[in-house]
Amino acid sequence: MVQGIVTAPALEEVALQVPEMPPILPPGSDNGDPPGWQPPRREPVVSNAVLGMLMFLAFETMFFAGLLGAFLVFRLSSTSWPPPGEPYLPIGVTWFNTGILVASAYSMRRAHRAIRDGSQAGLVHGLGLTALLGTTFLAVQGSEWIRLAHHGLTLQSGTYGATFYTLIGCHGVHVLAAVLWLATVWVLAARGWFSREWHGGIQLCKMYWMFVVGLWLVLFPSVYLM
């Protein structure tokens, strides 16, 4: 008979005193399992680490939803965007930059695939490429920011400048964090840290990277194209 962990004598007695009569519980209550029944050992559908990461990404999504909401309030209520006198955003270069990020998502996927197939070299190569593409994205964006600042677009330039720098800047900081994470994982991978059986860290890193790329695919049309 299964006793759980309580072996206090009082409970043993309770169990023995029970008469042979089907218990009548109030409607809706749980009659419990018959004795001897062992619950099947279930494996969690998603591991702790992945679930935790998903929750974290949900938090991040809502954070950006707040910033994006603020942007949309100003964007949709204004008749001319950019406001008179403010520079246009660099669309051509940013299309190119978007392409770079999309390519990095692909290389990240390849890195993850590689280690799932047990290829260390493929992993190191894929991670390195992704980090490189991410750095390129940041570099291009940084140089564009400098150009915009020269054209007089600053945080203080009304809501146009404020929402642009805040929203795109917050995304940039996230890309930077993701690149640093990638670099760490890349060094570890080069030292043979991961294997076909053990590469949870790569999956988490990939989730975060995909989030950053996916977020850009929302921000780019909203901020640059709309």
Partner 1 sequence: MADPAVMTAGPAVHVHHELGFWRTYIFSTDHKMIGRQFLFLGLFMLIVGGALAMLMRWQLAWPETAVPGFGWVPEPYMVEGIIPPNTYNSLFTMHATIMIFFAVMPIMIGCFGNFLIPLMIGARDMAFPVLNMVSFWSGLLGGLVMLAGFFVPGGHAAGGWTAYAPLTAKAIYTGVDWGQNLWNISLIILGVSSMMGSINYITTVVNMRAPGMTWFRLPLVIWSLFITAILLLLALPVLTSALAMLLFDRNLGTHFFLPEGGGEPLLWQHLFWFFGHPEVYVLVLPAMGVTSDVLSTFSRKPIFGYRAMAFSMIAIAFLSWIVWGHHMFISGMNPLLGTAFMLSTMVIAVPSAIKTFNWLGTLWGGSIRFATPMLFALAFVSNFVIGGLSGIFMASTPVDIFIHDTYYIVAHFHYVVAGIIFAMFAAIYYWFPKIFGRKLNETLGKLHFWPTFIFFNGVFFPMHILGVGGMMRRIYNPLQYEFLQPLQPINVFITANAFLLGLVQILFVVNFVWSLIAGKPSERNPWQANTLEWAAPSPPPHGNWGEALPVVHGGPYEYSVPGMAEDYLPQNQSRRPSPTLAKRHGPSGGQVTA
Contacts to partner 1 from residues 95-124, by CB under 8 A: 116
Give the residue carrying structure tokens 């993850």: 112
CB-facing half-sphere around the CA of 202: CA atoms within 13 A: 32
| Among 52, 152, 192, 221, interactor with partner 1 by CB under 8 A | 52
The residue among 19 and 92 lying less far from partner 1, judged by its C-beta, is 19
Radius of gyration, alpha carbons of the chain: 27
Q: Between vectors from CA 75 to CA 73 and to CA 81, what angle results, nearest 5°? A: 160
d(CA 200, CA 207): 11
Asked whether position 177 contacts partner 1 by CB under 8 A, the answer is no
| Among 186, 199, 205, 219, interactor with partner 1 by CB under 8 A | 199
Question: Which stretch in 37-45, 102-110, 132-140, 171-179 sits in contact with partner 1 by CB under 8 A?
Answer: 37-45
From the list 76, 75, 94, 95, the residue with the least C-alpha distance to 86 is 75
| Among 142, 152, 192, 200, interactor with partner 1 by CB under 8 A | 200
Q: How many residues bind partner 1 (CB under 8 A)?
A: 80
Asked whether position 39 contacts partner 1 by CB under 8 A, the answer is yes
From the list 146, 154, 167, 150, the residue with the least C-alpha distance to 74 is 167
Asked whether position 15 contacts partner 1 by CB under 8 A, the answer is yes
Give the residue carrying structure tokens 């009659």: 31
Asked whether position 84 contacts partner 1 by CB under 8 A, the answer is no
Q: In the window 53-82, what residues touch partner 1 (CB under 8 A)?
A: 55-56, 58-67, 69-70, 73-74, 77
175's enclosing H/E stretch is helix 158-190
Q: In the window 136-175, what residues touch partner 1 (CB under 8 A)?
A: 155-156, 158-159, 161-163, 166
